Amino acid sequence: MQSNEVQAVFWDYGGVFTNSPFVAMASYAAEIGVEAEVVSQALFGPMHDTEDHPWHRVERGQAPLTEAVAHAKAELSKHGVEFSLRDMFSKMADIANGSRPTVRARVEAHAAAGLRQGIITNNLAEFRDAWRASLPIDELFEDVVDSHEVGLRKPDPAIYRLATERMGVELTKSIFLDDLAANVDAAAELGMTAIQVGDDPAEALDQLAAVTGIS
C-alpha cells in the first residue's frame, strides 16, 4: 500500500501505548510458583475468541470481572496456588504504565498531518476510565471501538470490520497495530496492513513510517 492510499491507522492500546502487561503476568506467575502459561490460561483463556470463556465474556461486556476472577481462582487452585487479582494487576499496572513516548509522538505526528486514527481495544468496563485517562483520546483519535461496549473482541473479524465501517474507510486501505500475533494475523487476513508491536516499539514504528511516509 502506498502512503497516498492510507485512509486510517488503527491502534491497540495495552502493549502498544504501554509496556506489555504479559511481562508482569509472567513475573507474578513466578512469584506464586507456576508457569506463566498456567496463569494466562486460567485468567485469559486461549488467544482465539470463544463464546464461553469468562474473560472473553467480560471483554465483550457480557459478564462482570468477578466471574473471570472466580474462574481463575478455581483453575489455579488445581495447581495448589491461590490467585490474587489485586496482586497480579498491581504488578501489571506498574510495568504496563511504563511510558512509550515514541508511540504517542507518532500518533501526534499523524494527527498533525491529518491522518485519521482510531483505537480497537479488548478492554473491560471496569478499566475504562483508567486507560482513557492516560491519553487525550478525543484529540488524537476519531473513534474508539472498545470490546465491552460493542460486544465483540479481537481477533473476531467482525470487530475490525466494525471499526472501519464506523469511520467509513476500507479494510485494505487501513493499518492496524497490536502486540498480540493472533490479533495482527486476523487483521492481515482481512486485507489490513497489520504490524505487530514488540517490547521495543521502534521496529513497528519504522514499518509504519514506511507505509505512511510519516515519522
Average pLDDT over residues 32-44: 93
User: Within this chain, do residues 52 and 91 fall inside the same structural domain, yes or no?
Assistant: yes
User: Within this chain, do residues 91 and 163 fall inside the same structural domain, yes or no?
Assistant: no
> Is residue 24 pLDDT above 70, yes or no?
yes
Residue ending a domain, among 81, 96, 111, is: 96
DSSP string, the chain: --GGG--EEEE-STTTTB--HHHHHHHHHHHHTS-HHHHHHHHT--SS--SS-HHHHHHTTSS-HHHHHHHHHHHHHTTT----HHHHHHHHHHHHT-B-HHHHHHHHHHHHHT-EEEEEE---GGGHHHHHTTTTHHHH-SEEEEHHHHT--TT-HHHHHHHHHHHT--GGGEEEEESSHHHHHHHHHTT-EEEE--SSTHHHHHHHHHHHS--
Q: Across 1-5, 39-43, 114-118, which has the greatest mean pLDDT?
A: 114-118
Top pLDDT among 87 and 192 is at 192
User: Within this chain, do residues 103 and 196 fall inside the same structural domain, yes or no?
Assistant: yes
> Is residue 162 pLDDT above 90, yes or no?
yes
User: Within this chain, do residues 79 and 184 fall inside the same structural domain, yes or no?
Assistant: no
pLDDT value for 131: 87
User: Within this chain, do residues 33 and 74 fall inside the same structural domain, yes or no?
Assistant: yes
Top pLDDT among 56 and 23 is at 56
pLDDT value for 91: 74
The pLDDT-based confidence of 70 (bands split at 50, 70, 90) is: very high
The pLDDT-based confidence of 9 (bands split at 50, 70, 90) is: very high
Angle of helix 21-32 relative to helix 85-96, nearest 10 degrees, comes to: 140
Which structural domain range is residue 77 located in?
21-96
User: Within this chain, do residues 143 and 192 fall inside the same structural domain, yes or no?
Assistant: yes
Q: What is the CATH number of the domain that holds 112?
A: 3.40.50.1000
Q: What percent of the chain has pLDDT over 70?
A: 97
**Total domains in the fold of the chain:** 2
User: Within this chain, do residues 44 and 104 fall inside the same structural domain, yes or no?
Assistant: no
The pLDDT-based confidence of 95 (bands split at 50, 70, 90) is: low
User: Within this chain, do residues 85 and 190 fall inside the same structural domain, yes or no?
Assistant: no
User: Within this chain, do residues 48 and 130 fall inside the same structural domain, yes or no?
Assistant: no
Instruction: Tell me if the pTM is above 0.95.
Output: no
Rounded mean pLDDT of the chain?
93
User: Within this chain, do residues 58 and 75 fall inside the same structural domain, yes or no?
Assistant: yes
User: Within this chain, do residues 162 and 111 fall inside the same structural domain, yes or no?
Assistant: yes
pLDDT value for 103: 97
> Is residue 37 pLDDT above 90, yes or no?
yes
User: Within this chain, do residues 15 and 51 fall inside the same structural domain, yes or no?
Assistant: no
**pLDDT per residue as tens digits for the range 99-112:** 789 999 999 999 99
The pLDDT-based confidence of 170 (bands split at 50, 70, 90) is: very high
